[in-house]
């Protein structure tokens, strides 16, 4: 069987301890949340931390709570209004995907989040996997998510132990795919991610949390930890997430489509359309959003938006299914997502 390599396993109980342990470990250290991504990767030797800092026992990270106007986080770094509605939710990074999918408040106020969480992998893995883990999911590639022996036979790739990106051999960068289902949703919702570091806390919009680079796919600093996700006020907008994959379980997305619209009556006042699993980051397609802003999501607007999303969608040949079909499906899936929102258009 594939076996884990030897490593030091640390179990801090406070955030402060965890940050210190990670900092002490330096580049050889990694956090582990549910372990559903990291441990298989370690077995195949494409992630090789010497020190693993487990976050399961850190107090306060596994919670779903309302963030009211009297909350201590009433003001954030982007200096947004301090008066926040009481029904805004803050999700702790260690919340499991099962909890997220089943939580009554999440389902009532942010059904798109519950839906995306429920579409991840299998019930068993959702019991272990976490929100933070899914948002920080290592990028994936058919040349990378392979055993040591397999990768050795192709002389490795630039993401681990090698020099070349086999997906695009002349490319200077790695094309591994962001395969998170929650990431495009959080970008579409403009969720705020709270990062704790040795120098304190900072908040970044989800859209600025990711890089379009298969290796350095997060903007997070090495010594920072994603601790929570602040969702926006749930009123006045609608959103949905559509996932394409071969099978109804297990599979990572080969295309994710997250759409967020703010309604002004029956008109779209603002919108964000984000594609998952076609790039190294959740790819926002502003031109597709522009095509529906100001419209009442007429069929023509929907078609125009789907076409606008299709054009910049450039999946590479490193996941399941052929890339041209995946690209083509962008149009279908954006269309379907928009038609779903159209169904729920306020009258």
Tell me which residue has tokens 């992630």: 47
Q: Per CB under 8 A, which of residues 314..333 are in contact with another protein?
A: 320-322, 324-325, 328-329, 332
- Point out which span in 182-190, 242-250, 276-284, 295-303 binds another protein (CB under 8 A): 242-250
Among 61-69, 109-117, 146-154, 308-316, the segment contacting another protein (CB under 8 A):
146-154
Three state DSSP letters for 220-235: CCCCCEEEEEECCCCC
Minimum CB–partner distance for residue 243 and another protein (Å)? 13
Quick one: which of 123, 198, 250, 286 contacts another protein (CB under 8 A)? 250
Q: How far is the CB of 155 from another protein (least distance, A)?
A: 9
Q: Considering the complex, state which of residue 249 and residue 299 has its C-beta at the smaller distance from another protein.
A: 249
The token duo for 113 is 């989040």
If the CB atoms of residues 107 and 332 are measured against another protein, the closer one turns out to be 332
- Six token digits for residue 50: 């010497």
For another protein, give the closer residue by CB, 217 or 333: 333
Closer residue to another protein, CB minimum distance, 164 or 304: 164
Cα 223 from Cα 182, distance rounded (Å): 23
CA distance 181 to 114: 11
8 touches another protein (CB under 8 A): no
Integer CA distances (angstroms), 174 to 144, 207, 254, 347, in order: 10, 20, 17, 46
Applying CB under 8 A, the span of 63-71, 190-198, 241-249, 278-286 interacting with another protein comes to 241-249
| Sole residue written with tokens 């949905």 | 240
208 binds another protein (CB under 8 A): no
In terms of CB distance, is 119 or 289 closer to another protein?
A: 119
- Which 163-202 residues touch another protein, going by CB under 8 A? 166
Q: Kindly state whether residue 340 participates in binding another protein, applying the rule CB under 8 A.
A: no
User: In this structure, which long-range contacts are made by residues 108-111, counting pairs with CB atoms below 8 Å and at least 24 apart in sequence?
Assistant: 109/231, 109/234, 110/189, 110/231, 110/234
Q: Give the shortest CB-188-to-another protein separation in angstroms.
A: 22
Q: How far is CA 184 from CA 141, 144, 152, 277, 307, in A?
A: 18, 22, 33, 9, 19
DSSP 3-state of 115: helix
Q: Check residue 251 and report its DSSP letter.
A: P
Are the beta carbons of 315 and 277 closer than 8 angstroms? yes
Q: Which residue lies nearer to another protein by CB, 84 or 146?
A: 146
Contact 272, 259 (CB under 8 A): yes
8 Å CB contact between 76 and 203 = yes
For residue 259, give the H/E element and its range: strand 255-264
Least Å distance between CB 244 and another protein? 8
Q: Which of 154, 222, 266, 299 binds another protein (CB under 8 A)?
A: 154
Q: How near is the Cβ of 160 to another protein at its closest, in Å?
A: 16
Residue 231 · residue 110 · CB < 8 Å: yes
Can you tell me which of 232, 251, 305, 316 binds another protein, judged by CB under 8 A?
251
* Binding of another protein by 299 (CB under 8 A): no
CB 93 → another protein: shortest distance, Å?
25
Rg (CA), the chain: 20
State which of positions 106-145 bind another protein (CB under 8 A). Answer: 142, 145
Within residues 25-84, the interface with another protein by CB under 8 A covers none
* Interacting residue ranges for another protein, rule: CB under 8 A: 1-3, 6, 142, 145-150, 152-154, 166, 246-251, 320-322, 324-325, 328-329, 332
């Amino acid at each position: 069987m594939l076996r884990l390599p030897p490593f030091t396993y640390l179990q801090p109980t406070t955030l402060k301890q965890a940050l210190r342990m990670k900092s002490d470990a330096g580049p050889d250290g990694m956090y582990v949340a549910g372990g559903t991504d990291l441990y298989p990767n370690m077995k195949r030797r494409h992630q090789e931390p010497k020190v693993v800092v487990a976050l399961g026992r850190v107090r306060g990270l596994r919670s779903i709570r309302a963030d009211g106007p009297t909350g201590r986080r009433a003001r954030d770094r982007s200096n947004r209004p301090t008066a926040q509605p009481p029904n805004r939710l803050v999700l702790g990074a260690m919340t499991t995907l099962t909890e997220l999918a089943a939580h009554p408040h999440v389902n009532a106020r942010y059904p798109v989040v519950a839906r995306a969480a429920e579409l991840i992998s299998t019930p068993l893995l959702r019991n272990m996997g976490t929100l933070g883990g899914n948002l920080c999911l290592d990028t994936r590639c058919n040349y990378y998510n392979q055993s040591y022996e397999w990768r050795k036979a192709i002389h490795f790739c630039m993401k681990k132990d090698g020099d070349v990106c086999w997906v695009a051999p002349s490319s200077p960068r790695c094309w591994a795919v962001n395969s998170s289902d929650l990431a495009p949703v959080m970008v579409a919702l403009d969720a705020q991610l709270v990062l704790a570091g040795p120098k304190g806390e900072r908040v970044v919009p989800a859209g600025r949390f990711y890089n379009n680079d298969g290796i350095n796919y997060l903007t997070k600093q090495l010594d920072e930890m994603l601790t929570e996700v602040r969702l926006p006020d749930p009123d006045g907008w609608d959103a949905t997430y559509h996932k394409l994959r071969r099978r109804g379980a297990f599979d990572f997305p080969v295309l994710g489509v997250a759409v967020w619209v703010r309604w002004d009556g029956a008109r779209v006042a603002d919108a964000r359309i984000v594609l998952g699993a076609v790039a190294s980051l959740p790819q926002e397609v502003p031109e597709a959003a522009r095509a529906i802003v100001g419209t009442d999501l007429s069929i023509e607007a929907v078609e125009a938006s789907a076409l606008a999303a299709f054009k910049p969608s450039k999946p590479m040949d490193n996941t399941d299914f052929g890339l041209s079909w995946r690209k083509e499906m962008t149009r279908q899936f954006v269309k379907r997502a928009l038609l779903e929102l159209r169904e729920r258009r306020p009258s």
